[in-house]
Chain A
Amino acid sequence: DIQMTQSPSSLSASVGDRVTITCRASQGISNSLGWFQQKPGKAPKCLIYAASSLQSGAPSRFSGSGSGTDFTLTISSLQAEDFATYYCQQYSSYPITFGQGTRLEIK
């Protein structure tokens, strides 16, 4: 199974900050990676697919990069509504696996 490791596990930041979350795969997955945002009590929402493609409707301040084993999600200028938990997911092979999540909190 491919293990997905996110860092950090939690992060405190302020509105307007630039934030980067990383995700590392235990083996190469090409660009078969997605990023999701989840707010408390809500279903996840897709932000990024194919490592760097922005989901329709997702704000342009979100961007993704990487290939192989190392990936990043960047929020260029944090907004109040961005405080949530973020997950990466690999879909290169079954079983599909998720990172453990990164909780983004207000400083």
Chain B
Amino acid sequence: EVQLLESGGGLVQPGGSLRLSCAASGFTFNNYAMNWVRQAPGKGLEWVSSIGSSGGSTYFADSVKGRFSISRDNSKNTLFLQMNGLRAEDTAIYYCAKDRRAMGIDYWGQGTLVTVSS
């Protein structure tokens, strides 16, 4: 059974940093690209970032480019999202999501809440 467990969310002041983690199990992690998708309170889904299976390719939404970085540790089956320069508009639930080999997302984690506020 595929399981994705996010952690690292919390309350942070504007301009601060957070590092989200996603622990994966139930599949061969290093065979699949991974994604981060967020959802602001009461709003729709917004793709944030993707990383290829080896970590060699990364992609970012314009809204986070230059502030966020994505990485993975295939030896520990873990995905990361480093978020710097956080803004109020980054407040959202952040979901880790598994890719289906170039056919979109198939599984989602339960999400972790990031709140940016003074």
Contact = CB atoms under 8 A, between A and B. Distances in A.
Question: Are the chains A and B members of one assembly?
Answer: yes
Interface of A: 32-34, 36, 38, 43-46, 49-50, 55, 87, 89, 91, 94-101
Given A46-B104, A98-B45, 5 more contacts: A32-B103, A43-B108, A43-B110, A46-B106, A87-B45
Given A87-B44, A95-B61, A49 B50 contact: no
Nearest to A53: B103
Question: In this complex, which of B62, B102, B105, B111 has the most chain A Cβ atoms within 10 angstroms of its Cβ?
Answer: B105
A91 B99 CA distance: 10
Interface residues of B, number: 21
Question: In this complex, which of B47, B102, B109, B111 has the most chain A Cβ atoms within 10 angstroms of its Cβ?
Answer: B47
19 contacts: A33-B104, A34-B103, A36-B45, A38-B45, A43-B95, A43-B109, A46-B107, A46-B108, A49-B103, A87-B45, A89-B45, A89-B47, A91-B102, A91-B104, A94-B59, A95-B61, A95-B62, A99-B44, A101-B44
B47 A96 contact: yes
Interface in B62-98: 62, 95
A91 B103 contact: yes
Nearest to A31: B103
Shortest 7 CB-CB contacts between residues of A and residues of B: A34-B104, A96-B47, A43-B108, A91-B104, A98-B45, A94-B59, A101-B44
Contacts of A38: 45
Given A32-B104, A43-B95, A97 B47 contact: yes
